[in-house]
Amino acid sequence: MLDGLYQEIILDHYKHPHGRGLREQFDGEAHHVNPTCGDEITVRVNADMSDISYDGLGCSISQASASVLHELLEGKDSATIAEVHRAFVELMQSRGAVEPDEDVLGDGIAFAGVAKFPARVKCALLPWMAFKDAAARAGVEVGASPEVKA
């Protein structure tokens, strides 16, 4: 269903997740569930975004998305986080109409193919919505609206 190279990137993040595992020091935490697929994600963040930790279970898309989120956002300043978050949400809601910018999204471009499948969009966005909530609880407004237009 997905372009071969994109699928390879997603499977690589799924098999070798970056930064997976919850850490005890955090300012905000959120747990999100995607009942249509059975995905679960818990995200913890520090207020200064020096640490973003997560754990979860579910399909390759949801878990790879969490790994990509960690890679793209951890340690970044709030302006960069807001920009990347907005770009990823926009890509996922585009139904394939938006050409992803690799300079902004890095491996996140691999989810461009997923955007064409509404049921899987929820999988890909799950960690990003959990991150937004965790950040808000840590006092950081990420800004992008993650509501999925189904």
Binding site for Zn ion (CB under 5 A): 37, 39, 58-59, 62, 123
Whether 102 and 109 have beta carbons less than 8 Å apart is answered as yes
CA 135 to chain centroid, in Å, comes to 13
Task: Provide, rounded to whole angstroms, the least separation between the CB of residue 102 and Zn ion.
Answer: 24
Task: Provide, rounded to whole angstroms, the least separation between the CB of residue 36 and Zn ion.
Answer: 8
Distances (CA, A) of 116 to 53, 73, 131: 28, 24, 23
Nearer to Zn ion, 41 or 123 (CB): 123
Closest CA to 71 of 17, 27, 124, 115: 17
Task: Provide, rounded to whole angstroms, the least separation between the CB of residue 107 and Zn ion.
Answer: 18
CA dihedral 25→131→109→5, nearest 10 degrees, is: 60
Nearer to Zn ion, 121 or 140 (CB): 121
Task: Provide, rounded to whole angstroms, the least separation between the CB of residue 142 and Zn ion.
Answer: 22
